[in-house]
């Protein structure tokens, strides 16, 4: 095969060689096997990889040129020797060129087949690579989903454990409330009534009568106080205000109670003409505000707290912000056993009605807890 650098020389060289052979043939006596040189040329052309059409030209033109010599010098020697030479070498040239053409066609077919095969292999490899990538993505997504489910499951387990603890502590708190606020009053009432009974059992002197009247008045005051205390315990357990007058009134009432109890100034701001929302939503927001206020009293060292309730195109937003010390950085507030659940429970309550809870720095200082519930969840809550 000629190097591609000199390929352009092949055709002119072959043409020159043919002309040269023809001239040699003309000047040599008939009988010398000059047509053999055309065969040599054809084999050389095959060897250097000449174009197929050039081979065909050699196969056609060579025998014709050899024939011309026979026409020009018919009497130069024995014609049949020249004719025989011409015939033999023409046939050999045709066989050589014919075989080369067949070989080239087969080679082209083989190359085409292997090109197609390579293309198919490349396509299949690409398809496999894409499928593999998809599979990897699916596996990663599946793993992520499993991890998320795992996280939710353990969070749920922890929350339900905490709920049991909260229920327990609520029961204990209720028992303490009943004991401290109501039990003591009832004991005092009991004593007062017994004393009255003792006073009224003896002779009813005017002094005994007025003492009995004083004690009865005391007893009545105790009954009033007890009723008031029972009402306030009941309010805390289930604020009737919330049911009757709605969230705005209940929040204001609770905030004022909170201010009275803790000495932290309470400010309340509510959007105008707020509608009533489903009971579940109002209770959730009320409970979150309650818990956030407890946190303010417990952790914030604040002097003032603001509760703001609005409803816009996005939905409801309830903000409880204080002017206290602000949140400690995350690592400094590890949850102690049995505490540190307030925020998690608040967030869970918000999530249960389709909302979300955020806690972060307030404007300027302190902490702000923000609960948002999109309007679209109000129907379904």
Ligand X SMILES: Nc1ncnc2c1ncn2[C@@H]1O[C@H](COP(=O)(O)OP(=O)(O)OP(=O)(O)O)[C@@H](O)[C@H]1O
Q: How far is CA 331 from CA 152, 296, 298, 334, 342, in A?
A: 22, 20, 19, 6, 17
Residues 6+ away with beta carbon under 8 Å from 126: none
Pick the piece of the chain touching ligand X (CB under 6 A) from 18-26, 70-78, 146-154, 318-326: 318-326
Give residue for tokens 């020009």. Answer: 72
What minimum distance in Å lies between the beta carbon of 223 and Mg ion?
36
Nearest CB to ligand X, comparing residues 7 and 299 = 299
Q: Choosing among ligand X, Mg ion, none, which partner's interface includes residue 299 (Cβ < 5 to 8 Å by kind)?
A: ligand X
- Rounded least distance, CB 342 to Mg ion, Å: 3
Q: Check residue 342 for interaction with ligand X (CB under 6 A).
A: yes
Would you call 373 helix, strand, or coil by DSSP?
strand
The angle formed by the CA atoms of residues 107, 108 and 112, to the nearest 5 degrees, is: 115
With contacts defined by CB under 5 A, name the span among 4-12, 32-40, 212-220, 293-301 that binds Mg ion: 293-301
**Least distance to ligand X from the beta carbon of 259, Å?**
15
Q: Indicate the residue whose CB is closest to Mg ion.
A: 342
Task: Report 343-362 residues binding ligand X (CB under 6 A).
Answer: 343
Tell me which residues in 199-218 interact with ligand X (CB under 6 A).
Answer: none
Helix (H, G, I), strand (E, B) or coil at 90: helix
The whole-angstrom separation of Cα 357 and Cα 47 is 86
Of 196, 295, 306, 319, the residue at the interface with Mg ion (CB under 5 A) is 295
Which parts of 324-343 interact with Mg ion (CB under 5 A)?
342
- Total site size for Mg ion, rule CB under 5 A: 2
Record the tokens describing residue 166, joined without a space: 């909260």
Distance of CA 143 to the CA centre of its chain: 12
Q: Among residue numbers 283 through 312, which ones bind ligand X (CB under 6 A)?
A: 295-296, 298-300
Q: Is 367 in the site for Mg ion (CB under 5 A)?
A: no
- Alpha helices, H only, the chain: 10-26, 35-48, 52-72, 79-177, 184-201, 206-237, 240-245, 247-262, 279-295, 342-352, 376-380
By a kind-dependent CB cut-off of 5 to 8 A, residue 124 interacts, out of ligand X, Mg ion, none, with none
Q: Give residues in contact with ligand X (CB under 6 A).
A: 295-296, 298-300, 322, 324-328, 333, 339-343, 367
């Amino acid at each position: 095969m000629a190097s591609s650098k000199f390929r352009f020389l092949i055709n002119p060289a072959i043409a020159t060689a043919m002309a040269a052979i023809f001239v040699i043939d003309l000047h040599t006596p008939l009988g010398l096997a000059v047509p053999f040189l055309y065969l040599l040329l054809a084999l050389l052309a095959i060897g250097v990889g000449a174009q197929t059409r050039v081979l065909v030209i050699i196969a056609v033109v060579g025998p014709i040129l050899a024939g011309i010599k026979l026409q020009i010098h018919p009497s130069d020697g024995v014609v049949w020797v020249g004719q025989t030479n011409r015939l033999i070498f023409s046939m050999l040239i045709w066989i050589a060129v014919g075989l080369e053409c067949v070989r080239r066609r087969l080679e082209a077919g083989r190359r085409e087949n292997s090109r197609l095969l390579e293309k198919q292999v490349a396509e299949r490899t690409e398809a496999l690579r894409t499928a593999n990538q998809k599979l990897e993505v699916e596996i990663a997504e599946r793993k992520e989903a499993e991890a998320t489910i795992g996280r939710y499951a353990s969070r749920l387990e922890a929350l339900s454990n905490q709920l049991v603890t909260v229920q327990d502590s609520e029961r204990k708190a209720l028992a303490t409330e009943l004991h401290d606020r109501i039990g003591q009053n009832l004991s005092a009432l009991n004593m007062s009534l017994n004393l009255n009974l003792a006073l009224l059992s003896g002779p009813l002197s005017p002094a005994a009568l007025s003492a009995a009247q004083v004690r009865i008045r005391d007893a009545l005051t105790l009954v009033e106080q007890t009723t008031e205390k029972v009402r306030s315990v009941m309010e805390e357990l289930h604020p009737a205000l919330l049911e009757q007058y709605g969230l705005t009134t209940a929040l204001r009432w609770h905030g004022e109670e909170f201010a009275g109890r803790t000495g932290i100034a309470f400010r309340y701001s509510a959007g105008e003409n707020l509608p009533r929302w489903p009971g579940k939503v109002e209770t959730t927001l009320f409970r979150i505000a309650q818990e956030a206020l407890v946190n303010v009293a417990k952790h914030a060292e604040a002097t003032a707290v603001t509760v703001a309730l609005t409803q816009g195109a996005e939905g409801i937003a309830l903000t409880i912000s204080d002017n206290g010390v602000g949140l400690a950085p995350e690592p400094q507030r590890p949850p102690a056993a049995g505490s540190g659940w307030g925020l998690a429970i608040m967030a869970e309550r918000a999530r249960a009605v389709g909302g979300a809870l955020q806690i972060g720095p307030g404007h300027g200082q302190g902490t702000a807890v923000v609960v948002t519930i999109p309007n679209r969840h109000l129907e379904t809550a």
